[in-house]
Structure 1
Amino acid sequence: KGLADETLKALKAKGGKDVMYEGINPGEKDYSALVSKLKSANVDVVYYGGYYTEAGLILRQMRDQGLKAPMMGGDGMVDRELVSIAGPAAEGTLTTFPPDARKNPNAKAALAAFKAKNIDPEGYTLYSYAAVQVLAKAMAETGSSDGKKLADWLHQGKAVETVVGPIAYDKKGDITRPDYVMYEWKKGADGKIDYTGNELTK
């Protein structure tokens, strides 16, 4: 909801307008009534602030009812299971997600170590690795594992070198360099629909 609210705020600030704003009950299977309302409203795009499980069902039901508007959403939709649920309806979906960390030169050694174990560190894998690096640095600098002490050190804004590049936090604990890329889910040469390699903007 917070993501949808902020996106709507940004849309309105640029002169756009919403034709409808709806909430859903996660875990439901039938979203046909919602899709009918979207179709009647003649929407140009559906922005969804939830997870891939419901997004996949809504997408499939949108296409079943002949609604061709693309769906757009955040990182909660970024999972290959989206395609398993939505099927061909997933093609053309737009999602925001951090840049592919596997392409970051800082990740070269970690990438090689993962590949040696037959692991493709896609999605959040290298970001999780970076989080551990940040904690390890904070623990080394403070000589402590106390959460409050670690947070106090991190909130000073000192950059920590990681596999995804330098990471620093402000006084509130928010990252000072939130990178996001827009991805379009497309069919590849293998016939599978995926987002990797389909970056649109930075």
Structure 2
Amino acid sequence: MKAWLKGTMAAAVGVWGLAAVAVQAEEMVRIGVAGPFSGAYAAFGEQQWRGAEAAIVDINRGGGILGKQILLIKGDDACEPKQAMAVANRLVDNDEVQAVVGHFCSSTTMPASEVYDEAGILVMTHGSTNPMVTERGLKTVLRMCGRDDQQGTVGAEFVVKRLGAKRVAVLHDKDTYGQGLADAMKAHLHTLGLTEVMYEGLTRGEKDFNALVTKIKAAKADAVYFGGLHSEAGPLVRQMREQGVDVPLVSGDGIVSEEFVTAAGGGRFVKNVYMTFGADPRKSPEGKALVARFREAGYEPEGYTLYAYAVVQSIAAAMQESGSYNGVELANWLKRHSVETVMGPKSWDAKGDLKVSDYVMYQWDENGKYAEVE
């Protein structure tokens, strides 16, 4: 990559604020940031926005893209498919964005990406892991994260080979992401010679899972796998513990937020909870300076914060190096080149998936913190 991108990490110091620019919006590169900025999953939206905002501040201070400054335009989909479609159409028709960071939930990324692809606009999701995001043959859709058929495999291997579980209950939230992840885990569980003792869905937004916990007890499960997000995983694990079900709960990247601890009612309830997520980007040498700046500003860049930063870096690199804003041309450039990011070098295959997936297992502790399992 050219020096303009490599130097962006050192461009901003201290507490960030969007630098004032003396040009009109139409003279800027317009990038949409679409995700859940309200509702139950807003914690993930905050991670996304902080990462994207920090990236454009750095890139703008380093000269921008093709001599133009970047303008971020926020679109709140609340992880609701219909709202995501409205956001996508607004970003395309009214805001005339030239690329999009997002969406977060697979159930919103999939319909919204149809809009972007039809309009010829590049979209890169930082957190949508359902395989169908990139299996539909859309030309302008890529992702910065792995896939559920990858993390589901890691989860099943851990449950069987590390935990030694024999009676596994598999639960999901009936959503594109949650059920897709649970199904991927279940499928690999079968290849390992184990059949789940229970497979059941719950409904997003519910808080009372005591009847479900009673079924888990009756099934004599020695491990529970949950495909879903922190807002349901928290109450579920608390009610498991309150009913004396102290078996491990294993989940995916949908609980990689300290909001999970809040939803559970405190750190004492999340002990013995595990989750799959990419290798901690906060430990990447390329992101060391950025992580330090976030912490100096009083923010812990957990979860998908650095993922969103890396998405903006990748979009900017494609525009700068290709000299184009056309979504198909940008996607094709990314599929042919590696980009240096705060999470290390990233490259994509012909579908738009990362060539290397780095899912590992993490464990939550009684202090409400997570760390990689050795």
TM normalised by structure 2 equals: 0.50
Match among 241, 246, 260 for residue 82 of structure 1 = 260
Q: Which has the higher contact order (CA 8 A, sep 6+)?
A: 2
Match among 125, 150, 153 for residue 333 of structure 2 = 153
- Residue in 1 that maps onto 2:310: 130
Distance in structure 2 (CA, Å) of the matches to 1:110 and 1:77: 23
Matches within 5 A, 1:36-47: 36-47=214-225
Distance in structure 1 (CA, Å) of the matches to 2:293 and 2:329: 31
2:276 is equivalent to residue 96 of structure 1: yes
- Please give the secondary structure, in 2, of the residue aligned with 1:138: helix
- Please give the secondary structure, in 2, of the residue aligned with 1:10: helix
Residue by residue over 1:142-174, the C-alpha shift from the partner in whole angstroms, topping out at 9 and shown as x without a partner, is: 212222221122223x21111111100100001
- Residue in 2 that maps onto 1:182: 361
2:212 is equivalent to residue 34 of structure 1: yes
Partner letter of residue 101 of structure 1?
A: P
Question: Contact 2:247–2:272 at 8 Å: present in 1 too?
Answer: no
Residue by residue over 1:154-202, the C-alpha shift from the partner in whole angstroms, topping out at 9 and shown as x without a partner, is: 223x211111111001000011111112111113xxxx2211xx2114x
Partner letter of residue 319 of structure 2?
A: M
CA distance 1:84–1:109, change in 2 (3 Å): closer
Name whichever structure is richer in strand by fraction: 2
- Residue in 2 that maps onto 1:58: 236
Partner letter of residue 22 of structure 1?
A: E
Distance in structure 2 (CA, Å) of the matches to 1:160 and 1:4: 32
2:348 is equivalent to residue 169 of structure 1: yes
Q: CA deviation at 1:116?
A: 4.5
Distance in structure 1 (CA, Å) of the matches to 2:302 and 2:237: 24
Residue by residue over 1:8-37, the C-alpha shift from the partner in whole angstroms, topping out at 9 and shown as x without a partner, is: 111111112200110111111211111111
- Residue in 2 that maps onto 1:69: 247
- Residue in 1 that maps onto 2:141: none
CA distance 1:110–1:193, change in 2 (3 Å): closer
Q: Please, which moves more after superposition, 139-148 or 110-119?
A: 110-119
Structure 1: unaligned runs, 5 residues or longer: none
Size of the aligned set, in residue pairs, is 194
Distance in structure 1 (CA, Å) of the matches to 2:276 and 2:292: 27
Distance in structure 1 (CA, Å) of the matches to 2:300 and 2:240: 33
2:181 is equivalent to residue 3 of structure 1: yes
Partner letter of residue 323 of structure 2?
A: G
Identity %: 48
Match among 121, 126, 132 for residue 301 of structure 2 = 121
Residue by residue over 1:45-77, the C-alpha shift from the partner in whole angstroms, topping out at 9 and shown as x without a partner, is: 110010011011111111121111111100101
Distance in structure 1 (CA, Å) of the matches to 2:213 and 2:294: 42
